[in-house]
Amino acid sequence: MVLCRVVSEIFNVEKCRRFGSRRTLDKVSGSARTLQLDSGTLHPVEVVRDLGVLLDCELSMKQRIARIASNCFYHLRRLRRIRRVVGKEVTSQLVSVFVLFRLDYCNSLLAVLPSTTLKPLQRVQHAAVCLVLNLGLCDHATPGLQQLHWLSVEHRITFKFMYAHASNPHRTCTKVHGRLCAANRGIQP
């Protein structure tokens, strides 16, 4: 919403309404999708990257989540090779640096996504728990999360989002924040 407000101040308000579902985007004609500037014409793309965050035209974040999961599994495979040599404590620290940091980077953008979309990130976290605690394939990772005092991915996102907004009490609560607060408490808005 803030992005649309900033863009609408700079450009045409109608151009700002391009984010949405695939059906909404298909309704917009080809010539209306371009933006004419003094220096040339801007054409739309499916995915853009800003500050290392991939944003797709539908804001579904699926490409971002897939990229994070892929990078994290790569680092987990590399860490698995040295796990026996360095021990549990060092492995836990390396997983925090190489994996958990990637899960936490700009994760407040994922706050309103359904849990099914976040499943690849949860799989990464479970694989990280199995690596740190040296669990087998048949072992459950949830007790390991509790043992390591790690929140699940969905709760990490909610915690970071709530912490960021609780640190400034003068912010107004929008509909999204209200829904997130209500969902955390199990209350329907």
Q: Read off the pLDDT of residues 31-48 as tens digits, 9 standing for 90 and up.
A: 666 777 888 887 777 777
Q: Read off the pLDDT of residues 52-99 as tens digits, 9 standing for 90 and up.
A: 787 777 777 888 899 999 999 999 999 999 999 999 999 999 999 999
* Domain residue spans of the chain: 2-44, 62-172
Q: What percent of the chain is modeled with pLDDT above 70? A: 69
Is the C-alpha dihedral spanning 75, 143, 164, 154 positive or negative? positive
Query: Which pLDDT value is given to residue 8?
Result: 41
Residue 16 in this model has a pLDDT that exceeds 70: no
0.75 surpassed by pTM: no
Rounded to whole angstroms, the Cα distance separating 148 from 146 reads 5
Question: Ranked by mean pLDDT, which of 5-9, 55-59, 107-111, 128-132 comes out on top?
Answer: 128-132
Range in 69-78, 133-142, 155-164, 176-185 the model is least confident about? 176-185
Burial class (CB in 10 A: 0-12, 13-18, 19+), 150: buried
